[in-house]
Amino acid sequence: MTASQKALRAQDSADVVILGAGPAGLVLGNLLLSAGIDCVILERAAREHVQTRARAGYLAEHTVRILERHGLAEGLRRQGQEHRVCEFRTVHESFRLDYGLLGRGEQHTVYPQHELVTDLLARYLTGGGRILFEAEALAVLDADGPRPSVDVRDADGRPGRWRARYVAGCDGRHGAARRSLPEGTIRHHRDHGVTWLGLLAEAPPSLDAVGYAIHPRGFAGHMARSPEVTRYYLQVARGTAADDWSEDRIWEELALRLRAADHGPLTRGPISQRAVVDLESDVLEPLRHGSLFLVGDAASLISPSAAKGANLAVLEAEILAHALTAALRHSDPAPLDRYSERCLAYIWRAQEFSHWMIRLLHADPEGAGGDSMFADRLRHSRIETLRTSRTQQDWFAENYVGL
Ligand code: RFL
């Protein structure tokens, strides 16, 4: 019998059913496992897909501390790279901020998200954790009652049902947890009117810093992922398809916006992945509906401009793990009652900073209303304040790395 066939037995159950094996689901699974809580993870994709999906890379110190606290940081300690400088380039000037010396003196650890996911998964399986791949959650049922359940479908389309005491929706923005929320759940949503072409280049980093180019032709970004791989972003017109740009055109435009002529050439290499990202944010309120809890991207989608999504996912997973342990081990429901409020405070703070970054890096989108020159002047002033004011730099550093 295959793992997914086992999922189809009618009476499968676990105290906590976790939907999704991203950073949120796997951190939660590991923490529950070490607390001796009976849990299972249901993951729609195949294991290979989960372990190779390149996404985030910048982990805040707070995130590293959580992972360390629970013995989950071995890989990132071994292979992660410390980053603490970002460089802003405009057509007028460029300046660097060593945020490791500003604010709280914290820095990022760069460690590709799929490597972290691979580590977390290995650890979960070694500890005896249960996980079903290619098991898609369809709906969470009876979340308001004492015995919720999750309808699933395996890769061959066969249905099954998992019974639970609690369900953790760690299945991202298009998952079943969000679809199962009652009518009237509040979803605060903002489309920032900006689109990025996200690129992974098989090329060493071109700068020893995160690079942010603020250019009349649009934003361009440079972020190291490893000594061999670099992520680049190019702001493109809404509606652009991922394959619309040739590799030559991409490198020329990156070089132009990052002002390679003044600062040195970019190290080119094959573009191995490309994706179009419309910058959008949303927050669901509340993050709890009866026995169903939203975690990570399922709780709040945050534009990647400030690299907060995976960091929030890990933080929320730890908060929920403690709360579920208190409820299931010590019959103390109070931390679960506080889960939504606690997490929303972090989420809104991260959203606010991410919004500030978007307005720093991009011109006002067309149709935003008002005088676009006015918005441009404001943006110029914002950059100047960041360049010249130590107070503003401290604020930036604290929010850039912190949560
Ligand atoms: P994930 O990682 O999306 O995992 C959700 C999992 O759920 C599965 N799933 C289902 N499983 C069962 N049934 C269903 N119905 C299901 N529907 C979905 C999926 O297959 C998947 O395995 O969510 P999670 O765990 O909440 O983690 C969130 C982070 O992945 C995300 O916030 C970050 O990647 C955002 N982000 C970044 N965050 C950072 O903190 N630092 C960064 O440097 C950073 N860079 C980025 C990013 C996101 C990016 N994209 C995707 C726009 C760069 C990019 C390009």
Indicate if ligand 1 lies below 6 Å from the C-beta of 277. yes
**CA-to-CA dists, residue 77 to 70, 82, 109, 115, angstroms:** 13, 10, 9, 12
CA of 23 to the centre of ligand 1 (A): 7
Structure tokens at 232: 């680049």
- The domain containing residue 146 runs over which residues? 12-77+112-188+281-353
Which of 27, 297, 301, 319 most suits a substitution to test ligand 1, by most atoms within 8 Å of the C-beta?
A: 297
The answer to whether the beta carbons of residues 10 and 151 sit under 8 Å apart is no
pLDDT in tens, the chain (403 residues): 444 444 445 459 999 999 999 999 999 999 999 999 999 999 999 999 999 998 878 999 999 999 999 999 999 999 999 999 999 999 989 999 999 999 999 999 999 999 999 999 999 999 999 999 999 999 999 999 889 999 999 999 999 999 999 999 999 999 999 999 998 899 999 999 999 999 999 999 999 999 999 999 999 999 998 899 999 999 999 999 999 999 999 999 999 999 999 999 999 999 999 999 999 999 999 999 999 999 999 999 998 888 899 999 999 999 999 999 999 999 999 999 999 999 999 999 999 999 999 999 998 766 556 677 888 888 999 999 999 999 999 999 999 998 7
Contacts of 106 (CB under 8 A, 6+ apart): 60, 61, 62, 99, 100, 397, 401, 402
In DSSP terms, 163 is beta-bridged to 13, 149
Nearest atom in ligand 1 to the alpha carbon of residue 24 is 25
Indicate if ligand 1 lies below 6 Å from the C-beta of 134. no
How many domains in the chain?
A: 1
Indicate if ligand 1 lies below 6 Å from the C-beta of 172. yes
Contacts of 243 (CB under 8 A, 6+ apart): 274
CA nearest to 162, candidates 134, 140, 129: 140
| Residue 11, pLDDT score | 59
Indicate if ligand 1 lies below 6 Å from the C-beta of 292. no
Residue 51: inside a domain:
yes
Indicate if ligand 1 lies below 6 Å from the C-beta of 24. yes
Contacts of 255 (CB under 8 A, 6+ apart): 261, 265, 266
CA of 386 to the centre of ligand 1 (A): 30
Residue 259: inside a domain:
no
Nearest atom in ligand 1 to the alpha carbon of residue 113 is 34
Structure tokens at 117: 């996911």
Q: pLDDT tens across 92-145, in order?
A: 899 999 999 999 999 999 999 999 999 999 999 999 999 999 999 999 999 998
Indicate if ligand 1 lies below 6 Å from the C-beta of 50. yes
Residue 105: inside a domain:
no
Identify the CATH number of the domain in which residue 45 sits. Answer: 3.50.50.60
The answer to whether the beta carbons of residues 62 and 319 sit under 8 Å apart is no
Contacts of 269 (CB under 8 A, 6+ apart): 201, 202, 203, 204, 230
316/299 Cα distance (integer angstroms): 9
Active site residue ranges: 83, 212, 304, 308, 400
Nearest atom in ligand 1 to the alpha carbon of residue 275 is 55
Residue 394: inside a domain:
no
Please count the other Cβ atoms lying within 10 Å of the Cβ belonging to residue 64.
Answer: 23
pTM of the model: 0.94
| Residue 1, pLDDT score | 41
**Phi, psi angles (nearest 5°) of residue 66:** -60, -50
Whose Cα sits closest to atom 46 in ligand 1?
Answer: 56
Residue 28: inside a domain:
yes
Residue 284, amino acid:
L
Report DSSP letters for 103-157, one per residue: TT---EEE--HHHHHHHHHHHHHHTT-EEETTEEEEEEE-TTSSS-EEEEEETTS
Nearest atom in ligand 1 to the alpha carbon of residue 295 is 26
Indicate if ligand 1 lies below 6 Å from the C-beta of 363. no
Indicate if ligand 1 lies below 6 Å from the C-beta of 401. no
Residue 205: inside a domain:
no
Residue 69: inside a domain:
yes
CA of 239 to the centre of ligand 1 (A): 22
CA of 22 to the centre of ligand 1 (A): 6
Whose Cα sits closest to atom 1 in ligand 1?
Answer: 22
Residue 30: inside a domain:
yes
